[in-house]
A and B are shown apart, each in its own frame.
Chain A
Amino acid sequence: MALLEGGSFRCDESHFETGSIDEWNKHCEQHDVHTESGSTACIVCKTPIEYSDLPFHKLDSTGSKNIMLKCEECEAKTTGKVKRRSASTQ
């Protein structure tokens, strides 16, 4: 591990490496291996959500990915029915 020298974004597949947000966003949008996984809170009720295999989210001009998801219950209230989603509640 190069823990002492970090800073650049690095792709494990193509070994592409850059310190540019724009270049990183462009690379990841063109390579579907860069999915997102993790945890966040439902944007409606704040219930913790774990997710995986979300499409790549670009880093915006403020350094944020703006990952905004709804839990199954809130999604169902929105759509009127439960739909298959990539995110699920804990």
Chain B
Amino acid sequence: MTSKRIGFCSAVVTYKDGSKKICSLMQKNLLTNSGKDWVHAQLYTNTTAGTRGAGFIAHTQSTITPAVGDTTLSGEIADGAGLARYDATTKNHTAASNSTLIEDTKTISGAGYTDVKSSALFNASSAGTMVHEANFSTSTGALASGDTLKTSWTVNAS
């Protein structure tokens, strides 16, 4: 099965000195097989209430090759320096369109990170279904305490 793409992932680092680095600008993301199954369950086959939406953003410092068969984000960040999986603050749908935006900005703390390379959307704060994943076109490089990472997922589904 070929990779399936739906929507985009963008990521921007703002360093403490105010400079910015665009790591990913509307990089096409991938709808996983498990994500596709989850969408159909949410929309059609569930006989009881569904799950939360896929509004949880995760990141990894690992080099990954997104594939439709992926069910977890390899090397998912789980520490307390700011980028452990989080419920995105902004979830927005544009009426009369196929477009939804999932977005948040996180401030790095503590030891920071060496290099953040990819992101994913899940439907739960832990475990759950990984619905989308994407590599950044350029990794962030070192993130120090006080830097911020803004991750914006645009999902176009219709």
Contacts and interface: CB of A to CB of B under 8 A. Distances in A.
B interface majority secondary structure: strand
Given A4-B36, A7-B5, A62-B12, A35 B95 contact: yes
Interface string B83-117: 00000011111111111010100000000000000
B48 interface: no
A79 interface: no
Contact of B89 (A10, A40, A63): A40
A41 B90 CA distance: 7
A38 B99 CA distance: 12
B156 A7 contact: yes
B158 to A, nearest CB: 5
A11 B99 CA distance: 9
A interface majority secondary structure: loop
Interface residues of B, number: 36
Contacts of A38: 90-93, 101
B158 A1 contact: yes
Given A2-B158, A35-B94, A21 B26 contact: yes
Interface in B8-44: 8-10, 12, 22, 25-26, 28, 31, 36, 39, 43
Contacts of A41: 89-90
A78 interface: no
Given A62-B25, A67-B90, A10 B8 contact: no
A28 interface: yes
Interface of A: 1-13, 21, 24, 28, 31, 33-41, 56-57, 59, 61-65, 67
